[in-house]
Amino acid sequence: MKDKLHFIGVIGGSEVSPEIAQLAEEVGREIARRGAALVCGGLGGVMEAACKGAGEEGGLTIGILPGESRRSANPYVQIPIVTGIGYARNVAVVKSSRAVIAIDGSYGTLAEIGHALQSGIPVIGLGTWAISMDGKEDNKIIVAKNPKEAVEKAFSLIGNQE
Amino acid sequence: MKDKLHFIGVIGGSEVSPEIAQLAEEVGREIARRGAALVCGGLGGVMEAACKGAGEEGGLTIGILPGESRRSANPYVQIPIVTGIGYARNVAVVKSSRAVIAIDGSYGTLAEIGHALQSGIPVIGLGTWAISMDGKEDNKIIVAKNPKEAVEKAFSLIGNQE
Amino acid sequence: MKDKLHFIGVIGGSEVSPEIAQLAEEVGREIARRGAALVCGGLGGVMEAACKGAGEEGGLTIGILPGESRRSANPYVQIPIVTGIGYARNVAVVKSSRAVIAIDGSYGTLAEIGHALQSGIPVIGLGTWAISMDGKEDNKIIVAKNPKEAVEKAFSLIGNQE
Amino acid sequence: MKDKLHFIGVIGGSEVSPEIAQLAEEVGREIARRGAALVCGGLGGVMEAACKGAGEEGGLTIGILPGESRRSANPYVQIPIVTGIGYARNVAVVKSSRAVIAIDGSYGTLAEIGHALQSGIPVIGLGTWAISMDGKEDNKIIVAKNPKEAVEKAFSLIGNQE
């Protein structure tokens, strides 16, 4: 099972608009349709919507929680990991993923994007942050136009890894 | 799935004798036979033997890894969680479990026992540490005589929780 | 002592050009001249240069290290904190600071900026990342033109806090 | 400064009897008298009493806090490190110390003792846990009869390290 199951991370804010939640749900569905497991921070907003979508398609959902109790997980998390380490759990969310899809985004999402790029994990962005230095855009955050394209890009990028 | 799946932790040293490994493997088998998922630190020794046993009985195995790569997981881990936080991941192993079974034991296992008791998570001991203060034994580590009894006690204790 | 000593964080890459190192050293000097303690990740590059500058002016330097040994600290760290939690220690660097000054910047610095903004800690940027969403720049990273201005802005921002 | 300043950890419960608090305060005083800095978890009980004692003798006190705010530090902490990683900060307390003195002790103290022994950091016990396996006491926790002896033993043990 280990060799076959890919883990795709979905990162984004815990409070989002219905439009963003719909995008996240569709990303979750696409990940599950392609047979990968979904990794996220386990809470609400983008995380909950993505887990809901993945679950509807029979996919596996893993929530790496910041707090002290599995009860803080959204109802669509099947594997709750209770870290008790607060926001530092963001590092575990990205490191456990072969690629991450960033949707919309709070500053916490920006932190996760930074951790992912620092660790060499591909980041696909769907309406998320753009970053630049000295007026020059950094193109490491790969832009996707819609949920399907985001998941396709994520899979094509992990295909190049071992 | 979330409501039905119980998570039982197995903690113990990463380098152990064949006798201890056999105990751990049998603990893993019993956990899987009873339909629970096994949570551990994902490395060798007790962790690997327990995952092997659980996998043979069709159980789910989760390894919460200290390092930076899923490749450090033993071959029987199905869900590798890559934390990158070193020994501090021990806290996540115990907090993600409804009860933990401590087998044999290095000082790392002692730390995990302390974290579990601090968090109110039942600890069942199989040839592991005993602790005392002022010459008086603390009986919070529940002693089991064999793998079957250890797993039975773990399940009876989580039965009392919500 | 606790009430009087302010902690200012300095974040930036561990391998930088001599020009960037000089900026960081000057930032460290300014922080010490104003009587604040310097908090950083304790390693090389921006962190080392800033500690060197602060030390030259008699300032206190705190290095919150990712690894397992105080020997990994740069020679100008006076208070080495050994976390053993890897990159997750970035969270501790920013949370221990009243304001952070980001210089140049790797992706790790981007992660630290995200953690700081998420926690409501002011970020002053000196030749570092700019962030935008939907083509609109987010102005939460306060731009400084030189080390002196960066430190002045940091102090003016913490003045508004309790 | 770095080469001269030794860091001695003091670990123990956050709610203790006046007798235990007095022991902790005396340990803090002795550490400061010998010119070392005191490292602890920064909260109440043993930690607060030890910081109070150290401060009275002009010593430096470092509190590595579990939560999100420096305001949770006891009033005698001079250098508050805000980790935001909860109980996992215990790892940082012991790793930042050349030796740790365990006083009395909750289960959290037991976890810290385990982390210290796992990392090869000497542990001196003052009315704290004893540990045994297979009915045989493990003598790695070095027993001290009083605060002065505890601190003397701590210094003699770090003397053997680089």
Across the interface, whether the CB atoms of C78 and D119 are under 8 A apart is answered: no
One-letter identity of residue C43:
L
Determine the pLDDT at residue C160.
Answer: 54
pLDDT above 90: residue C2 = no
Tell me the pTM: 0.95
C123 to chain B nearest CA, in Å?
25
Phi, psi (5° rounding) for residue C5? -85, 120
User: Furthest-apart CA pair in chain B: how many Å?
Assistant: 46
Q: What is the pLDDT of residues A20-49, one digit of tens each?
A: 999 999 999 999 999 999 999 999 999 999
Alpha carbon of A39 to those of A95, A154, B39: distances in Å? Answer: 10, 13, 17
The answer for residues whose C-beta is within 8 angstroms of residue A71's C-beta and 6 or more apart is: none
Distance of alpha carbon A107 from alpha carbon A27, whole angstroms: 21
Chain B and chain C share a number of CB contacts under 8 A equal to: 17
What is the average per-residue pLDDT within A101-126?
95
Per CB-CB distance under 8 Å, the chain D contacts of A72 are none
Torsion (CA) A146, A149, A150, A156 in degrees, nearest 10: 180
Task: Chain A: list its partners (3+ Cβ pairs within 8 Å).
Answer: B, C, D
Phi, psi (5° rounding) for residue D37? -90, 150
Q: What is the pLDDT of residues B75-109, one digit of tens each?
A: 999 999 999 999 999 999 999 999 999 998 899 99
Structure tokens at B7: 């998570």
Beta bridge partners of B102: B11, B125
Report chain A's mean pLDDT, rounded to a whole number.
Answer: 94
Determine the pLDDT at residue C1.
Answer: 43
The position carrying tokens 């400061």 is D32
Q: Which residue of D has its CA nearest to C84?
A: D92
Residue C34, burial from CB neighbour count under 10 angstroms (0-12, 13-18, 19+)? middle
On whether the CB atoms of residues B46 and B148 are closer than 8 A, the answer is no
Per CB-CB distance under 8 Å, the chain B contacts of D87 are 91, 115, 118-119
Q: Are strands B129-133 and C37-40 parallel, antiparallel or unpaired?
A: unpaired
Q: Are strands A61-65 and A129-133 parallel, antiparallel or unpaired?
A: unpaired
One-letter identity of residue B58:
G
Rounded to 5 degrees, what angle do the CA atoms C129, B68, A72 make? 80
The answer for residues whose C-beta is within 8 angstroms of residue C107's C-beta and 6 or more apart is: A114, A115, A117, A118, A140
Q: Are strands A61-65 and A79-82 parallel, antiparallel or unpaired?
A: parallel
pLDDT band for B162, please (50, 70, 90 cuts): very low
Determine the pLDDT at residue D105.
Answer: 81
Across the interface, whether the CB atoms of B92 and A82 are under 8 A apart is answered: yes
One-letter identity of residue A60:
L
Rounded to 5 degrees, what angle do the CA atoms B108, B114, B118 make? 150
Across the interface, whether the CB atoms of B108 and D118 are under 8 A apart is answered: yes
Rounded to 5 degrees, what angle do the CA atoms B118, B120, B122 make? 110
Across the interface, whether the CB atoms of B84 and C84 are under 8 A apart is answered: no
pLDDT above 70: residue A160 = no
- State the ipTM, two decimals: 0.93
Per CB-CB distance under 8 Å, the chain D contacts of A65 are none
Determine the pLDDT at residue A1.
Answer: 43
Determine the pLDDT at residue D4.
Answer: 64
One-letter identity of residue C138:
D
What does A84-120 look like in DSSP terms, one character per residue? Answer: --GGGHHHHHHHT-SEEEEES--HHHHHHHHHHHHTT
Across the interface, whether the CB atoms of A85 and B82 are under 8 A apart is answered: no
What is the average per-residue pLDDT within C5-18?
95
Q: Which of A96, A61, A38 is nearest to B80 (CA)?
A: A96
Structure tokens at C16: 């930088």
One-letter identity of residue B143:
V
The answer for residues whose C-beta is within 8 angstroms of residue D63's C-beta and 6 or more apart is: D40, D41, D42, D43, D47, D51, D73, D74, D77, D79, D80, D81
On whether the CB atoms of residues A152 and A126 are closer than 8 A, the answer is no
pLDDT band for A2, please (50, 70, 90 cuts): very low
Report chain B's mean pLDDT, rounded to a whole number.
Answer: 94
On whether the CB atoms of residues B126 and B103 are closer than 8 A, the answer is yes
Q: Which of D3, D7, D2 is nearest to D99 (CA)?
A: D7
Per-residue pLDDT of chain D (162 residues; tens, 9 = 90+): 445 689 999 999 999 999 999 999 999 999 999 999 999 999 999 999 999 999 999 999 999 999 999 999 999 999 999 999 999 999 999 999 999 999 988 999 999 999 999 999 999 999 999 999 988 999 999 999 999 999 999 999 997 554
Structure tokens at A76: 């669509």
Determine the pLDDT at residue A5.
Answer: 86
Q: What is the pLDDT of residues B123-132, one digit of tens each?
A: 999 999 999 9
Chain A and chain C share a number of CB contacts under 8 A equal to: 90
pLDDT, greater one: B159 or C67: C67
On whether the CB atoms of residues B48 and B106 are closer than 8 A, the answer is no
Structure tokens at B131: 């602790």
Residue C4: CA count within 13 A, CB half-sphere = 3
Phi, psi (5° rounding) for residue A115? -60, -40
Determine the pLDDT at residue B43.
Answer: 97
What does D72-95 look like in DSSP terms, one character per residue? Answer: GS-TT-SEEEE---GGGHHHHHHH
Q: Which of A109, A73, A80, D112 is nearest to B92 (CA)?
A: A80
Inter-axis angle of helices A18-33 and A147-158, to 10 degrees? 40
* Beta strand spans in B48-97 (E): 61-65, 79-82
Q: Which of C12, C4, C39 is nearest to C112 (CA)?
A: C12
What is the average per-residue pLDDT within A99-120?
95
Task: Chain C: list its partners (3+ Cβ pairs within 8 Å).
Answer: A, B, D
Which residues of C fall below an 8 Å CB-CB distance to B?
A: 68, 84-88
Q: Which of B56, B99, B107, B98 is nearest to B78 (CA)?
A: B56
Per CB-CB distance under 8 Å, the chain B contacts of C85 are 84-86, 88
Q: What is the pLDDT of residues B1-52, one digit of tens each?
A: 445 689 999 999 999 999 999 999 999 999 999 999 999 999 999 999 999 9
The helix (run of H) or strand (run of E) holding residue D16 is none
On whether the CB atoms of residues C42 and C64 are closer than 8 A, the answer is yes
Cα–chain center distance at A90: 10
On whether the CB atoms of residues B144 and B20 are closer than 8 A, the answer is no
pLDDT above 70: residue C146 = yes
What is the average per-residue pLDDT within B133-141?
92
